[in-house]
Amino acid sequence: MRIQEFLILVFIISLMSCGFNDVKKGSNSALSSTDISQLNFQKDYTITDAKYDTKTYVQIKNGNRIMKTNGLPNHPTGAFPNAGNPNSISAQDVKYTLPVNPSFSGESKWVREPGVALNGVKFEPETAERFVCETGEVYRIEAFQDLVNLGLDFNHAHVQPTGAYHYHGVPEGLVKVLDTGNDLVLVGFALDGFSIYYSKKGKYKPSFQLAKDLRTGDACSYRNPKESMDKVLKDTRPDGTFVSDWEYVEGLGQLDECNGVEVNGQYTYFVTDEYPYMSRCLKGIFKEERRKGPPPGGRPPHGHNPPDHKH
């Protein structure tokens, strides 16, 4: 067997092993980030980009949207490792099964990974970083704040110890390659199957504001392998540094507590430039798989993980 024939055979076998041998290459596939905006994401599609080594295969089968991906973005990223994030981006082996026709329950349930972007990069808005106080409070640190450097890049993303690159907010690079000129840009799907959009004009606003009650934590500490910090948080005013600094006010904006709203008769989630940036809960029926490995965020948290402090 000639070497060319052998390489072709290896490619075919590897594609079949992924379970996507019936996805027709070229019918709805993007070989680079320049033509991804032309894909129909409501059908089977493929994104492979040699420049970034992106490999994402999506198939609609038995009422589900099945995605198999290596989790590598199809756009430029910041430099990793960096001063705030000690991890390097590496390929993953991930499969998502999302309903094509989602069911709306109306009940909001917290979720660690609310969804996945069209390119196979997951959304994970919260972090594992936290201040633990001797008085019992635990303050979870937001990704976007000025107290602790978490090494986020220009896509509002960084890397977990597993090598998984993930978005904490608006995926700027992805929005850029998806942009067709319309205000609403489909950027992904939630675990419950509902679509995730970004409004370039900020048409849909979240309904969160800074809490008014002062913090109560005394003798609070933050630790990671490269940094330590002690603070007295008692009687300090919420400024957005911690998850508990924010409170939901129904009707303050167009979006509900899960950053969702009905658009053209269909419930839809939004990534936004304002807090909470991405849904922290879902209102459809879903099952979240607890993935193996370290906890979410840039570095493992210090100490134990007691329940969050509530105002």
Q: ∠282-285-290 over CA atoms, to 5°?
A: 75
**Looking at the predicted structure, is the pLDDT value of residue 300 above 80?**
no
The pLDDT of residue 71 is above 50: yes
pLDDT higher than 90, residue 35: no
Summarised one tens digit per residue, pLDDT across range 266-295 is: 999 999 999 999 999 999 999 877 655 444
| Cβ 116 vs Cβ 95: under 8 Å | no
Confidence of residue 302 (pLDDT cuts 50, 70, 90): very low
Burial 28-39 (b: 16+ CB within 10 A, else e): bbbeebeebeeb
Choose among 299, 257, 250, 301: nearest CA to 275. Answer: 257
Query: What Cα–Cα distance (Å) separates residue 188 from each residue in 73, 180, 248?
Result: 13, 16, 24
pLDDT digits (tens, 9 = 90+) for 122-151: 999 999 999 999 999 999 999 999 999 999
Q: What is the pLDDT of residue 287?
A: 83
Instruction: Give mean pLDDT, residues 182-206.
Output: 98
CB 115 within 8 A of CB 269: yes
pLDDT at site 27:
60
